[in-house]
Amino acid sequence: MTVRLNIEGREIEAPASCSILQAFLYAGETLVEGVGCMGQGVCGSCRVMLRSHGERTVTTALACETLAEDGMQVAFLDYFTSPSRHVYQMEDVVDSWQVLNAIARVFPEASHCRHCSGCDRACPRGLEVQQGVNLAVAGKLAESAQVFDECVMCNLCTLACPELIRPNHLGLFVRRTIAALSLRPANLMLRLQQIESGEMVIDLDAPGAHGPASR
């Protein structure tokens, strides 16, 4: 059984069990660099806007985990980074008493949340992003970190935020802060040990291992 869908303006036919990303590959298309699950890229890079057949609403999703449907319309989303970056050094946060001041200094826009829930609707993982931001501003870092624990840094919440809060980057800062001020996560310590011992070897010849500038 196959399905027919439109991806980037092209009619594609693929097996019904395919994800959108697999359907794109099945049609002979080439992925751009940076798609994490297909090589050495960044998870969350396969963000798309889609509309199911018969629906008027356009939603956001990740192409790697969304099944292709008959009559679906799909467009991949590029992400253009903001000219203003949140610059900080974790070494400067040496005490938990400094965390609230650090959040206010590095992410001053976080306290301007309009509670519009746009970030929640945009999140393909279904995270309560708005709550995570509000918890971070209130100093409830453990609760905030838990909200962002499954964030894949797709940046869709940032694109949806009218206050340009960049919630996922705030969530990453919170998680880094907790790790810096307490015992590091066991899986992180294990992975670093594997890299240092040579057990985990990075394949520099893998697709996407080198950016365009390095060629």
How wide is the angle at C-alpha 108 spanned by C-alphas 106 and 114, nearest 5°? 140
Q: Which residues are CB-neighbours of 188 under 8 A, at least 6 positions away?
A: 179
Select from 140, 138, 148, 143 the least CA-distant residue to 170: 148
How confident is the prediction for the chain on average, in pLDDT?
Answer: 86
Torsional class of 28: left (φ above 0), alpha (ψ -120 to 50), beta (otherwise): left
Check if 2-76 and 90-186 are the same fold: no
The CATH number that domain 90-186 falls under is 1.10.1060
| pLDDT (0 to 100) of residue 5 | 94
Can you give the pTM of this predicted structure? 0.76
pLDDT tens digit string along 187-204?
A: 888 888 888 898 877 666
Residue 112 has pLDDT above 90, yes or no: yes
Report residue 30 as tokens: 């080439």
Read off the pLDDT band of 212 (50, 70, 90): very low
| pLDDT (0 to 100) of residue 19 | 92
CATH class of the domain comprising 2-76: alpha beta
Between the CA of residue 108 and those of 113, 164, 202, what are the distances in Å? 10, 11, 38
User: Between 203 and 175, where is the model more confident?
Assistant: 175
User: Domains of the chain: which residue ranges?
Assistant: 2-76, 90-186
Residue 41 has pLDDT above 80, yes or no: no
Dist. CA 62–CA 122, nearest whole Å: 11
61-65: average pLDDT: 90
| pLDDT (0 to 100) of residue 34 | 58
